[in-house]
Amino acid sequence: MASSLTKDSPEPTGGRPTAPGPHHTPEKTFFGHPRGLATLFMTEMWERFSFYGMRALLTIYLLSGGPDASKGLQEGGLGLTLATTTAIYSIYLSMVYLLAMPGGWLGDRVWGPRKTVAIAACTIMVGHLTLALPGAGSFFAGLALVALGSGLLKSNISTMVGHLYDGPNDPRRDGGFTIFYMGINIGAFFAPLIIGTVGEKYSWHLGFALAAVGMGIGLIVFLLGTKHLAPQSSRVPTPLSREERANWLTKGLTWLLIGSAFYGIVVFTGHFTLNWAMVPLTLAGIVIPAGVLIRIKRDKDLSAAEQTKMSGYIWFFVAAAVFWMIYDQGGSTIQAFGTTKAADDVFGIGFPTSWYQSLNPVFIMALAPVIAWLWLWLNRRGKEPSTVVKFAAGLAFVGVSFFFFLIPLVLAADGTLVSPVWLVGIYLIQTVGELCVSPVGLSVTTKMAPAKYASQMMGVWFLAVTAGDSVTGMLSIAGVDLSRTGVVALEAALATLAGFAVFMYRKKVRALMGDVR
């Protein structure tokens, strides 16, 4: 990243006016934005470097040494089956997004965004260090810590980006979030190339340790740059009262004791298996999102217009869950196929299979400006697709990606190693679908949110990812082979039909959206 601090005129930045004076020096900015954006950009970039670096290793580490691993894969992994690997991967992702809601709640009511992000970064770093230790026990403990820390950080660091600007009408705000979004993808692009290579080719645990180093750098950058952040980021917006704090603490300790006692009995009696942990988590990932939507929909404080918009929003939520159920298999089912059934060289040049996970971020960086330009170009001509149509297109693209996946699956059925280009095509099609769904979904969430739940609805949007990944996890636990041609074809048809249904009912959904377009 070509980091640059540029000079700007002495305008107020981030709601903090500069003091006038004859010898006043213009405040340094980051590409014309508040300097605090550089701190948050670098923090998020390094956090994503650690997150995506570990994620690039996760599937192949779990498979290594097991019955479904390729012969050339480094030994020393956990040796699990593909079904168990997919379940663990899916549950891990679903928990990251599920924990974003309590992470946002802690930032709003207990610690404030700035302190929550610092605690989150420390938790993530300790999690990666724990992953670097040998043994299955330390691996799962580390995975839990990384999921917890990522959930804490996800919503709070985005909140602090918003704090840098003078309200939602600041003309620099959208540009600031765009720069911040680029930091995510830069970190995600380089992580598999560095952490993936070291972990896959030299030492799994050294790769996990490098992820800890990345988060450590991000933490140092954050702590050194806090002086440039808005004062608002260190405040607790709606602190808990003493009675509420005591009530929450009592409830938390009670459930912790119940869970500890229950699982203590299961372990002591020798009945514990991975399913005792995975099944409750997948059920929680389906039940909690459904419960949250039902609670909001049935809230009597909502006006008739807000109730109607929530009915419309449920369409988008379900469509997004279907999308993420298939899309997130890019790191499990498709990654496993690339590791075991695809050649690991192009034109005679070999590469670690973890590099497949760099394709999506590089495609996003290349295509996001093109897609954004396309929407504007169509808008000027009065032909820009509606939000509903964009969602339908996203579902269609992810469905097509799995229909496309059927070709290399068939070609590899006789043991032939297929060309890596097939996987490049799958990730490319999925990225186009993501650009139709993800930014549009974030936008429509903010527009359709009831006033009472304005600060919580972004967490609700993330629950669509939780629900989708939890369904994938549940199918894997049930023994469904998600890499079979019949199953892949069924998922492709499901996504395509869902996209077709959304398109066919687009007028009904648009009517439910009210004044939102």
Q: What pTM value is reported for the model?
A: 0.90
Q: What is the mean pLDDT of residues 367-387?
A: 88
| Domains parsed from the chain with CATH numbers | 29-246 (1.20.1250.20), 286-517 (1.20.1250.20)
pLDDT of amino acid 14: 41
**Is 319 a residue whose pLDDT tops 80?**
yes
- The pLDDT of residue 220: 97
CA 344 vs. chain centroid, Å, equals 27
Q: Provide long-range contacts, Cβ within 8 A and 24+ apart, for 13-20.
A: 13/164, 14/163, 14/164, 14/165, 14/166, 14/230, 15/163, 15/165, 15/166, 15/167, 15/230, 15/232, 16/230, 16/231
Higher pLDDT, 345 or 223: 223
Percent residues over pLDDT 90 in the chain: 60
Task: Specify the pLDDT at position 169.
Answer: 67
pLDDT digits (tens, 9 = 90+) for 61-96: 999 988 888 767 788 899 999 999 999 999 999 999
Res 27: pLDDT? 62
Instruction: Tell me which of 19-23, 237-241, 448-452 is least confident.
Output: 19-23
Whether residue 496 has pLDDT greater than 80: yes
* Nearest CA-CA partner of 107 in 446, 448, 441, 456: 456
Whole-number pLDDT of residue 172: 79
pLDDT at 450 over 60: yes
86-140: per-residue pLDDT in tens? 999 999 999 999 999 898 889 888 899 999 999 999 999 999 999 999 888 999 9
Band of residue 335 on the pLDDT scale cut at 50, 70, 90: very high
487 class by beta-carbon count within 10 Å (0-12 exposed, 13-18 middle, 19+ buried): middle
Q: Per-residue pLDDT averaged across 346-355, rounded?
A: 89
Amino acid 395: pLDDT: 95
Backbone angles phi, psi at 170, to 5 degrees: -60, 125
pLDDT tops 50 at residue 8: no
Q: Which residue has the higher pLDDT, 303 or 430?
A: 430
DSSP string computed for 18-34 = PPP-TTPPPPEEETTB-
Mean pLDDT in residue range 301-315 = 90
Measured between alpha carbons, how far is 450 from 303 in angstroms, rounded to an integer?
9
**pLDDT at res. 6:** 38
- pLDDT value, residue 314: 92
